[in-house]
Amino acid sequence: NSFHDGKGHLVIRAVRSSDGKYISARLKTLGKFSVKYGKVKARLRVPYGQGIWPAFWMLGVDIEKVDWPNCGEIDVMENIGKEPGIVHGSLHGPGYSGNTPLTAQYALKGGARFADDFHVFGVEWEPKRIRFFVDGDEYYRVTPNMLPAGTKWVYDHPFFLLLNVAVGGDWPGSPDTTTTFPQEMLVDWVRVWERP
């Protein structure tokens, strides 16, 4: 479910098996690569369709010690298939996770879909500020003073990267008769500029 297409792209493919189960892939750099502060970007073409949930995101490397959401989560890009022209950027941490993250959305103009072309999704991460971008446009900025009262900023340690295409779940809902398979996310590149 993950492979190179021979044209310079990494492909993450979601399929429906003959017994009706959905199979996909999640790639992660835990134990191989992490970053603390800097720019993290990926040029992606996302899939589409009801119940399809592509994401480019980051988790704290201490997840196995402190568990989620205490490790922190930075969702550089999430898209749910029923919103083909909208992506979400979010932070999940202790006291602001699951259905209550710090989050914003970016919408394409004129009814365009993110599945129609490649787009660059990124964050610029500093000690007390995380900014979210689509194609170079900043659409969200989060600082510690925006956290809910009594909660903690947990973005001051290394994070690893993840790329995946999920199928179903509470937020996107299940695939329906309009959803076609296979669905593919194409990854042109992932780039990280670590802050010295």
- Catalytic site residue from 73, 83, 124, 194: 73
Distances (CA, A) of 37 to 15, 44, 46: 35, 22, 26
The alpha carbon torsion through 69, 75, 80, 84 (nearest 10 deg) reads 160
Let me know if 15 is exposed, middle or buried by CB neighbors in 10 A (0-12, 13-18, 19+).
middle
- Catalytic site residue from 78, 124, 126, 194: 78
Residue 83 falls in the annotated catalytic set: no
Phi first, then psi: give them for residue 162, nearest 5 degrees: -140, 145
Provide DSSP, 6-33. Answer: SSS-EEEEEEE-TTS-EE--EEE-TTT-
Residue 138 falls in the annotated catalytic set: no
By annotation, the residues acting in catalysis are 73, 78
